[in-house]
Amino acid sequence: MTVAAAQQVEALRGQIRRHDRLYYVEASPEISDREYDALVKHLEHLEAKHPELISLDSPTQRIGDQPVPELHSVTHRVPMLSIDNTYSVEDLGAWGRRVEKLLHEEGQVKEAKGHARQPLEWVLELKIDGVAVSLTYEAGLLVLAATRGNGVVGDDITHNVRTIPGIPLRLDLDDPPATVEVRGEIYMTNSDLVVLNEEQVAKGLPPFANTRNVAAGSIRLLDPRECAARPLRFFCHGVGDVGGLGVASQQELLAWAVQAGLPVAPGTEAFNSLDALIDHASTLIEELHDLDFEVDGFVVKVDRFDQQRRLGTTAKSPRWAIAWKFEKYEATTKLAGIRVQVGRGGTVTPVADLEPVELAGTTVSRASLHNADEVARKDIRVGDVLVVEKAGKVIPHVVRVEKHLRTQRRKRWRPPTECPECSTPLVKDRDGVYIRCPNVDCPARRRERLRFFASRGAMDIEGLGDKLVEQLVARDLITDYADLYSLTVEQLTGLERMGAKSAGSLVTQIAESKAHGLARVLNALGIRHVGPRVATILAQRFPTIEMLQSATVEELAEVHEIGDVIAASVHEWLASAYGRRVIEGLAAAGVRLDLPQADRVMDGPLAGKTLVVTGMLKHFSRQEAEAAIRQAGGRASGSVSKKTDFVVAGAEAGSKLEKAQKLGVPVIDESEFMTMVGGEN
């Protein structure tokens, strides 16, 4: 009976650990909370009948029975240094140049000794607004958890950390290292804080101010049962010492962490250049509202550990990492109402009308609610008290509802089923969260299209402001882009705040915009998934509108950085009756629909070819090799795919070389590369 019970206990523990991993690490749970709780209850029942089978790493042993008398000090094996901060792109770039200079100078010394330099890659991670901790595992078992403290000495919080379900009590590894000190951030989600504050108020206790305060206070409690009642979570972002793990970079470390069953923050990516990282991060910041946890910036790291060691540290901070933070401001106000606005692509977005509140030096009276699903997920109702946040230059958004202040029943908000402007039935994206007005002639869509068309990044018609666009559409003077180019001074002079001089200046600006060329026009048209970079790539590959219109979806998708989704969107728009009408109208108005010769990719021996550089070259730095590719008419890429024409492999080439060989992509050495680009060897 004991043998059978032991087997059943181990099987249950294995199931529970598997479901913990699916939920906390892979974010793809297979069972409901109720089914999970039933597994734990079954295990508790068996262990109660057979106490000799209880082990410290059992999922039932997370919460101790007694509080600890006090928190004891712990000395970190490797100091937990703080990371320097910057709030500007300029300072981030300056830091990156210092790093490159230090590594380059050392690289020259190594080359003189016959060693090859290593390529430099950067890793971008979300900066979680939580509490830093270290976790020590011995033979795979969690034996110690500690706060950062002063970086050298922290507090022992093992009794509380064991209560956090996302932290494995045993690493999910067949052959765990003898000792490993994992580092990361303990945090709480906004939705969990909403529920916790409701419970606090129901008990007659004060609500918590924010998620970070809850996390910081909870992990220092003496009674683990109190900590267990607060739904804390954990993300791994590093280790104290990588000596025994056999990993060579931050990317490899995070892959090891996931394999071991440790949760890792989403959105982590590696880049060959700091400029590419900054471009990506600047876009990513607009999507942070989708996260249910607080982020106050990004952490940028040098990827390779050998380069990190060579860069070293100052007295307080590593030279190989920096926190790129943005100012965050929060305020509390009441939701007066929810309205919807229709964008140029037809997206219907709910907007919160707020009681005016001071936020980051400005008065805020509205905030984006992004989509109907987010309103439902956060359970936002008219009359609620909301926490509103503004981070950097991003427009304000709602962080959470202070549900504990909801004193009466309020109706759930229902999204509209018809367009508020043209009454067309709305449609929801397939497998998406957005609802859209499909009517391309919707007055709201027309206004927003014209506003974007005239914006600085598009056709740059400075005098065509929002108020003027509204008047032009309301009076039916403009139905689409081409109508702009037939406007007269007389028509404009009759509009509000438009004198003869202003009208004449605007007509001149509109006429001058005709010469901007195909790339600017493609961006200005507002085709879904097409921004300035994609527009430029398409225009360089198909330098006339006729060539672009005749391209198939497959031909579009073959263009580097385009892919199937963008290709389908562009092809569908160009082939539609509306798209053809717009292009014909612009052509008739005399708008230039080709790429100026000066902007075209120059011809050369690598014209139309995509190359990837990997490893260390003797005569080129990575940047110099990629510049040579572009000068020869080719395209330099940072990743290998079936569309890659050649991989240039130098000394100590790694995974990119292996991928090229697996895909059958031709591999050339530096000598062959120099011949290709017209250099001497």
**Alpha helix ranges (H) inside 118-189:** 158-161
Look at 155-164, 575-584, 608-617, 668-677 and tell me which has the smallest mean pLDDT. 608-617
pLDDT of amino acid 115: 44
**Segment 306-336, tens digit of pLDDT:** 999 999 998 789 999 999 988 778 899 999 9
What are 183's two structure tokens? 């580092």
Instruction: Count other C-beta atoms under 10 Å from residue 139's C-beta.
Output: 12
What is the C-alpha separation between 297 and 61, in angstroms, rounded?
Answer: 36
The domain defined by 122-325 carries CATH number 3.30.470.30: yes
Task: Give the CATH number of domain 328-405; options: 1.20.1070.10, 3.40.50.720, 2.40.50.140, 3.60.40.10.
Answer: 2.40.50.140
Q: What is the mean pLDDT of residues 272-299?
A: 85
The single-letter DSSP state of residue 181 is E
Q: Is the pLDDT of residue 109 over 50?
A: no
Q: Is the pLDDT of residue 157 over 90?
A: yes
**3-state SS of 542-611?**
CCEHHHHHHCCHHHHHCCCCCHHHHHHHHHHHHHCHHHHHHHHHHHHCCCCCECCHHHCCCCCCCCCCEE
The single-letter DSSP state of residue 513 is G
**Annotated catalytic residue: which of 127, 325, 403, 656?**
127
- Domain 610-676 architecture: 3-Layer(aba) Sandwich (3.40)
Question: Considering the chain, what is the average pLDDT of its residues?
Answer: 87
pLDDT of amino acid 593: 93
**Alpha helix ranges (H) inside 347-438:** 372-378
Q: Where in the chain is the domain with CATH 1.10.150.20?
A: 443-515, 518-599
What are 556's two structure tokens? 């579009």
Q: Where in the chain is the domain with CATH 3.40.50.10190?
A: 610-676
pLDDT of amino acid 60: 82
List, in order, residues 6 or more apart from 401 with CB less than 8 Å away: 194, 378, 379, 380, 381, 384, 385, 386, 387
Q: Is the pLDDT of residue 288 over 70?
A: yes
What phi, psi does 25 have (nearest 5°)? -100, -45
**Segment 422-475, tens digit of pLDDT:** 999 999 887 677 899 999 889 999 899 999 999 887 898 988 888 899 899 888
What is the C-alpha separation between 352 and 381, in angstroms, rounded?
Answer: 10
How distant is the alpha carbon of residue 138 from its chain centre?
34
Look at 55-59, 74-78, 339-343 and tell me which has the smallest mean pLDDT. 55-59
Long-range contacts of 13-20 (CB under 8 A, 24+ apart): 13/43, 13/58, 13/59, 15/39, 16/40, 16/43, 16/59, 17/59, 17/168, 17/170, 17/172, 17/261, 20/59, 20/165, 20/166, 20/168, 20/261
What are 347's two structure tokens? 């997206």
Active-site annotation holds for 41: no
pLDDT of amino acid 332: 93
List, in order, residues 6 or more apart from 389 with CB less than 8 Å away: 328, 329, 330, 396, 397, 398, 399
How distant is the alpha carbon of residue 409 from its chain centre?
36
List, in order, residues 6 or more apart from 520 with CB less than 8 Å away: 458, 459, 460, 535
What is the C-alpha separation between 154 and 158, in angstroms, rounded?
Answer: 12
pLDDT > 90 in the chain, percent: 46
Nearest alpha-carbon partner for 589 in 426, 453, 496 = 453
- Domain 518-599 architecture: Orthogonal Bundle (1.10)
pTM of the model as a whole? 0.67
The domain defined by 2-61 carries CATH number 1.10.287.610: yes
Q: Where in the chain is the domain with CATH 2.40.50.140?
A: 328-405
Q: Which CATH class is domain 443-515?
A: mainly alpha
